[in-house]
Amino acid sequence: MPIFEYSCRGCAHQFEMLVLPTITPACPKCASQDLERLISLPALKTEDGTQRAIKQSQARRMKGRTEEIVAQREYELKHDD
């Protein structure tokens, strides 16, 4: 069941509503059907978490690569003969 978040254009009230094909969503405060559908919060959170996870894994990879280069340079310096 899709739950959408709406913002009422009539009174600016924001609310979540379970949307059924048989029901036209209306503002629970002023009964207006002039509503703006907002991006649902759970979806937004998931996207944020995914992007953060990608950034963290990229940062880890970058760090690992830098350490490899440093180790390689140290090895070359010690074995420069």
Residue 9 or 61: which CB sits closer to Zn ion?
9
Nearest-approach distance from CB 17 to Zn ion, in angstroms: 12
Compare residues 31 and 54 and give the one whose CB is closer to Zn ion.
31
Q: How far is the CB of 47 from Zn ion (least distance, A)?
A: 28
Partners of 6 in the beta sheet?
Answer: 15, 37
**Residue numbers of the site for Zn ion (CB under 5 A)?**
8, 10-11, 13, 27, 29-30, 32
Inter-CA distances, 11 with 18, 30, 39, 66, 71, Å: 20, 7, 19, 55, 63
